[in-house]
Homo-oligomer: A and B are copies of this chain.
Amino acid sequence: MEKSSDVLTKEQIIAATEETIRRYGMAKTSVTDVAKALDVSHGSIYRHFKSKTELFEAATEQWLEEKIVAPLADVCRDSSLHGVGHVQAYIQTLVRLKRHYAREDEALFAMYAKVSDESAELISKHIGRIVGHLMDIMLRGGLKSDHPERSARAVFYATARFHHPAHAYEWKSAAIDAEFSDVWALIEQGLKTND
């Protein structure tokens, strides 16, 4: 990852950060390593990001946006889906995406897990976006509720075991899909009955 143009951009730095984390792993990646990958001095990176923490948060935000939120927005928009089935498809997608990246992009998933753990603000913003999608789906799908946001949040929290990174090691279990189905069956009724 050499910088191609002569103006260093945030985007280039984030791309180099991802690459370096994939190569060395989360724990072993320093700002110096990222600078080396870009063939610039590490001081240049501090012109774009106030701190290492901010850099990793920006990388995580972008990763979440691209890998998780964008595909979810597609499901949210999908007009072939409706009502409870739409909510289910959305949560199912969320669960599958998390599981997919936990397995197939371990290093960046570890970055996401670590940043989540340390930045309550970032994760709360991210959850806010998902809750927004769920509210949208539920309202459009005629799933009325006295407290749409609270209902949306409840769906998110009731399925936490299947998408929260702290539970990632449980996703290896052969029973995980059946367990999700069973939890979903429980929730489904509550979604139909307006609270």
Chain A residues in the interface with B (C-beta under 8 A) = 147, 150-151, 153-155, 157-161, 164, 166-167, 178-179, 182-183, 185-193, 195
Chain A contact residues: helix, strand, loop or mixed: helix
**A191 to B189, alpha carbons, bound, how many Å?**
8
CB-based contact B154/A179 at 8 Å: yes
Residues of B within 8 A of A190 (CB): 185-190
CB-based contact B185/A186 at 8 Å: no
A169 to chain B, nearest CB (A): 9
Task: Return 21 A-B CB contacts under 8 Å, by A number.
Answer: A150-B182, A151-B186, A153-B182, A154-B182, A155-B186, A157-B161, A158-B186, A158-B187, A160-B167, A161-B161, A161-B164, A164-B167, A166-B166, A185-B190, A186-B191, A187-B187, A187-B190, A189-B189, A189-B190, A189-B193, A190-B190
